[in-house]
Amino acid sequence: MYKRGYVLARAIEQNSDILMTNYKILRNKATRDKSNQKEKYYQGKICENQGNPKGMWKTLKGVHNHKGPEPMQNTLTPEIFNQYFTNIGIHNIVQGSLYLYAAIVPTLM
């Protein structure tokens, strides 16, 4: 990890493509090593908790590490809900009567 950081700093300082390529190789190796170590750790924990359901679930939750979606803010109050549905009825009645009026008036003239 130290060597990776050192090579990155030198690559930026010298604006060197060769050092940047070396940094990328070291970065990928560090990522791969970290992933392998995690895999070994969790395999050991799973084997360790083979007959222990509580410990097994704790380990599996640690592997998954998912907290879930953020809860939505409840901005819909009963008053807003009620107002929306009462206005729909009034709006439809007014629109319907306007359509009816527009249909009847031309025939009367």
Please state, for a pLDDT cut of 90, what percent of the chain lies above it.
13
Backbone angles phi, psi at 71, to 5 degrees: -65, 145
101 pLDDT higher than 50: no
Q: Which of 4-8, 17-21, 61-65 has the lowest mean pLDDT?
A: 61-65
Cα gap 90→83, rounded to integer Å: 11
Distances (CA, A) of 7 to 15, 31, 33, 80: 11, 16, 18, 60
3-state secondary structure of 53: helix
**Range 85-99 average pLDDT:** 60
4 pLDDT higher than 70: yes
Cα gap 1→11, rounded to integer Å: 15
Domain residue ranges in the chain:
1-48
